[in-house]
Amino acid sequence: MRTPLLAALLAITIAAPALADDALIARPEVQQYIGEIAASENMSRDKLDALFAQVELKPNIISILDRPSTSRPWHQFRGNFVNPVRIKAGARFWRANAETLAAVSARYGVSADVIVAILGAETNYGSNTGSFRVIDALTTVAFDYPRRADFFKKELTQFLLLAREEGVDPLSFKGSYAGAMGWPQFMPSSFRQYAVDWNGDHHRDIWNNADDAIASVANYLAAHGWEKDGPTMDVVNVNSDQVDALLADKFNLHYSVAELMAKGVTPLTEVDPKRQAVLFALDTEPDFTRYYLGYTNFYVITRYNKSTLYASAVLELASDIKAAYLNGEDLTGAAAKKPAPVKSSGSWGKPKR
């Protein structure tokens, strides 16, 4: 039987040192937020007060967010994701979860190698899912980082809802400094929309359960328009005075291949001229830029992470993992970790219907 949430929170209060920021719960904007979601989401205000009394603000997260962003060229970026260690680990993960990958791929139409590559790129197959308490991370940014406050307040609400839905202690979730969670690094809103309970244990456990993590990635890609067995990207030649304008539109499928060809883009392989595509460039060497067309499936990967570098790395990693798996290069070393039980800590009350 599940214990009421308040009892669980009181137990935490007794067992844990007083590390929370006492000033947080007294802040007017925090009290306003608690009052709003208590009313709109049918949650107990007393239980929310008890929960936020345990939240710890993390100033180091603000420092991380304030670091100047640096954009590395492809020839430097690539090695962080596409390397022998990650490739071999991906092939081992595939072999350890081959049955699930085959079933998930058949259900959603998403290639197994791409699913494995995304889990490898995000968390190295679950080995680095983040050490911050998710509620600490989300609350810190929601109330102490005005530039992203609106977005993170929405994600904080989504997190509280998913904790209620999953019946899991909201203080027990761990994730990245931005609140991304589990092997796929889903934000709470993505979790609620795309996470899958593949093994039927009534928990969408993307932290410990490979089956759920695999299916959740596939569901996300399928929901964003993945085309089964569709092409991803091709090398092209470019002879156009419009290249800068075309490159600036790198996250939108505004043109067909035929329209891009009319603008001076020449595919080096045969491709359906009616297919939608986007032009992008990679600095493959310090003084050399190569141009590519990305098709619908490439675009879908940029919905997971809005970066052509990321999508390119995922696809190259996927190809290398598939080759290693088929060649048996993974037959030494440990397999992926097995699912662990999910900690339940009581009900969050009834969701509004």
- % pLDDT > 70, the chain: 88
**Assigned domain for 303 exists:** no
Same structural domain for residues 48 and 171? yes
Predicted TM-score (pTM) of this structure = 0.87
Residues 6+ apart with CB under 8 A from 150: none
Return the DSSP state at 181: B
How many CA atoms are closer than 13 Å to the CA of 251, on its beta-carbon side? 10
The domain boundary residue, chosen from 294, 313, 328 = 294
Q: Is 103 helix (H, G, I), strand (E, B) or coil?
A: helix
- Specify whether 145 is located in the same domain as 256: no
Domain presence at residue 351 = no
| Same-domain pairing of 146 and 286 | no
Domain boundary among 127, 147, 175: 175
Clarify whether residues 165 and 31 are in a common domain.
yes
The per-residue pLDDT for range 278-293, each reduced to its tens digit, is 999 999 999 899 999 9
Is residue 49 domain-shared with residue 142, that is, in the same domain? yes
Domain shared by 288 and 148, yes or no: no
Same domain, 26 and 164: yes
Same domain for 151 and 21 = yes
Distance of alpha carbon 271 from alpha carbon 340, whole angstroms: 46
How many domains is the chain partitioned into structurally? 2
Segment holding 261, helix H or strand E = helix 257-262
Judge whether 333 lies within some domain: no
* Span 115-125, pLDDT tens digits: 999 999 999 99
The answer as to whether 144 is a domain residue is: yes
* Residue 158 resides in a domain: yes
Judge whether 349 lies within some domain.
no
Question: Final residue of a domain: which of 259, 277, 294?
Answer: 294
Q: According to the model, what pLDDT value does residue 20 have?
A: 55
| Cα four-point dihedral sign 259, 260, 266, 268 | negative
**Which of 14, 4, 324 shows the shortest CA–CA distance to 167?**
4
Cβ contacts of residue 207 below 8 Å, gap of 6+? 126, 129, 173, 174, 181, 182, 183
- 27 and 152 housed in the same domain: yes
Q: What is the pLDDT of residues 202-228, one digit of tens each?
A: 999 999 999 999 999 999 999 999 999
pLDDT bracket for residue 322 (50, 70, 90): very high
Q: Which residues pair with 238 in a beta bridge?
A: 265
Structure tokens of 215?
């299916």
Residues involved in catalysis: 122
Residues 254-280 pLDDT 10s: 899 999 999 999 999 999 999 999 999
pLDDT at 91: 97
What letter would DSSP give residue 321?
A: H
Write out the E strands in 130-182. Answer: 132-133, 174-175
Between CA 334 and CA 119 the distance in angstroms is 17
Tell me if 244 is assigned to some domain.
yes
Q: Does the structure show a pLDDT above 90 at 51?
A: yes
348 or 248, which is more confident? 248
Distances (CA, A) of 293 to 32, 194, 300, 308: 48, 28, 14, 11
Q: At what angle do helices 98-108 and 112-123 cross, to 10 degrees?
A: 110
Residue 274 CB burial class (10 angstroms; 0-12, 13-18, ≥19): exposed
Range of the domain at 48: 8-56+136-175
Interhelix angle 84-96/98-108, nearest 10 degrees: 80
The beta strands (E) that lie in 47-180 are given as 132-133, 174-175
The pLDDT value given to residue 241: 84
Flag whether pLDDT at 90 surpasses 50: yes
Q: What are φ and ψ of residue 279, in 5° steps?
A: -90, 135
Domain identity same for 158 and 13: yes
The CATH code of the domain that includes 157 is 1.10.8.350
Q: What residue type is 296 in one-letter code? A: T
Quote the tokens at residue 339.
């699912």
3-state secondary structure of 222: helix
Same domain, 32 and 150: yes
321: left (phi over 0), alpha (psi -120 to 50) or beta: alpha
Query: In which band, very low, low, confident or very high, does the pLDDT at 336 lie, cut at 50, 70 and 90?
Result: very low
Query: Is residue 287 assigned to a domain?
Result: yes
Return the amino acid letter for 347: S
**Do 284 and 145 lie in a common domain?**
no
